[in-house]
Amino acid sequence: MLLSILLTTAMVVSTSNAQTLTGQYDCIKGAGNYDLCQNLWGKSSGVGSQSSTLISASGDNISWSTNWTWANNENSVKSYANVESTTAKGVKLSDIKTAPTTWVWDHTTQSDGIRADVAYDIWTGVQSVGAPASANSSYEFMIWLAKLGGIQPVGSRIASNVQVAGYNWEIWRGPNTNWQVISFFTTDLIKNFQVDLTDFFDYLIANQSVSSSQYLQSIQAGTEPFTGSANLVTSQYSVSITT
Ligand SMILES: *[C@@H]1O[C@H](CO)[C@@H](O)[C@H](O)[C@H]1NC(C)=O
Ligand SMILES: *[C@@H]1O[C@H](CO)[C@@H](O)[C@H](O)[C@H]1NC(C)=O
Ligand SMILES: *[C@@H]1O[C@H](CO)[C@@H](O)[C@H](O)[C@H]1NC(C)=O
Ligand SMILES: *[C@@H]1O[C@H](CO)[C@@H](O)[C@H](O)[C@H]1NC(C)=O
C-alpha cells in the first residue's frame, strides 16, 4: 500500500471457485494457499466500484481477476485487491534458500489515462508474526510490474540502473507510519514475471542495510488503482519458499 491505512478486519466468506467479492473488505480465505481480499481501504477518496473473482486455486497456484472503475482524487489509492500467501512467511530472510514466484497477468480491458500499479507488497519485521501494515512491520518491499499513468512509489529515488533478477530497477525509499518502504520500480510493463525473490532479499541485505534476521511476515500480490477502469486478470500466480 502506498498510504497508511491499517486494516484489521476482514469478512470471511465461504470458499468456492468462480466466487465474486464485492464488499469493501470481503475475503475468500484459504483459496489454495492464499487469502484473496478486496481491501477497498481508500474507497472513500473516490467514486466507483470494484469486484474480485476467484477463478481457480490449487496449492501454491491461484488465478483471479479484479475489475475496477474509480474516479476523483487522482493521487489517492482506492484499494489493494490482493492475494496473500498463507504459507510463505514466518521465516528469517537468512533462512530462505529459494523463493520462486510466477505472475502472469493482463488487463483484458483498460480505459484511456488509467492510473494504477500492479505490484507485490512484501512485509518483514523483527517478530516472526506480523500482519501487513501493522505495529510489527519494519519494512514494506514493493516490486512494481506496472506503473500506469503519472504515479510513483513512496519516498524518493535513491538508485537507478540496479540489476536484480534480470531486470533493471530504480530503487525508491521512504518512511510510512512505523515502517520503511523500499520499492523496486520500473516503467517497463512486466506481464510475465518469473523470478526468485531471494535475489531481491539479497540486494536489500547487501545494499540497503536490511538485517538478514528480519522475518518474512507476508507476501501479497495485487493492484493499486487510482483512477480509470480496468479488468486485471491473473491467469497464473504462485509463490513459495524453501528453507
Ligand atoms: C501449479 O502449476 C504448475 C505449473 O503450471 C504445475 O506444474 C503444478 O502441478 C501446479 N500445482 C498444483 C498444486 O496445482
Ligand atoms: C467490469 O465491471 C463493469 C462495470 O461494473 C462491467 O460493465 C463489465 O462488464 C465488467 N467486466 C468484466 C470483464 O467483468
Ligand atoms: C505482533 O507480534 C506479536 C509477537 O509475535 C504477536 O503476538 C502479535 O499477534 C503480532 N501482531 C500483529 C498485528 O501482527
Ligand atoms: C550491492 O553492493 C555490492 C557491494 O558494495 C556491489 O558490488 C553491488 O554492485 C551492489 N549491487 C547492486 C545491484 O547495486
Q: What is the pLDDT of residues 105-143, one digit of tens each?
A: 999 999 999 999 999 999 999 999 999 999 999 999 999
pTM of the model: 0.92
Query: What pLDDT does 36 receive?
Result: 98
- Which residue, by CA, sits nearest to atom 5 of ligand 4? 207
Which atom number of ligand 4 is nearest to the Cα of residue 159?
A: 14
pLDDT at 18: 74
Q: Is the CB of 168 under 6 A from ligand 4?
A: no
Q: Which residue has the cell 496473500?
A: 84
DSSP 2-24: -S-------EEE---TTEEE-ST
Task: Give the whole-angstrom CA distance, residue 176 versus residue 122.
Answer: 14
Q: Which of 40, 41, 39, 37 is nearest to 62 (CA)?
A: 37
DSSP 188: S
Q: Which residue has the cell 477497498?
A: 40
Query: pLDDT tens, 2-26?
Result: 443 333 333 444 344 579 999 999 9
Strands 61-71 and 81-85: unpaired
Whether 170 is a known active-site residue: answer: no
Asked whether 203 lines ligand 4 (CB < 6 A), one says yes
Residues in the chain: 243
In this structure, what DSSP letter does residue 214 have? P
Q: How far is the CA of 38 from the centre of ligand 4 (A)?
A: 37
Q: What is the DSSP string of 106-151?
A: EEEEE-TT-EEEEEEEEEEESSS---TTSTT--EEEEEEEEEESS-
pLDDT in tens, 29-78: 999 999 999 999 999 999 999 999 999 999 999 999 999 999 999 999 99
pLDDT digits (tens, 9 = 90+) for 140-198: 999 999 999 999 999 999 999 999 999 999 999 999 999 999 999 999 999 999 999 99
For residues 212 and 210, give the distance between their C-alpha atoms in angstroms, rounded to a whole number: 6
Distance 127 CA to ligand 1 centre (A): 31
Longest alpha-carbon distance in the chain: 45
Q: State how far the alpha carbon of 85 is from the alpha carbons of 25, 32, 176, 221, 235, in Å.
A: 17, 9, 23, 9, 17
From the CA of 107, how far away is ligand 4's center (Å)? 35
Query: What cell numbers appear for 228 in the block?
Result: 480509470
For the chain, domains (ranges, CATH) are 12-239 (2.60.120.180)
Task: Give the pLDDT confidence score for residue 80 in this predicted structure.
Answer: 95
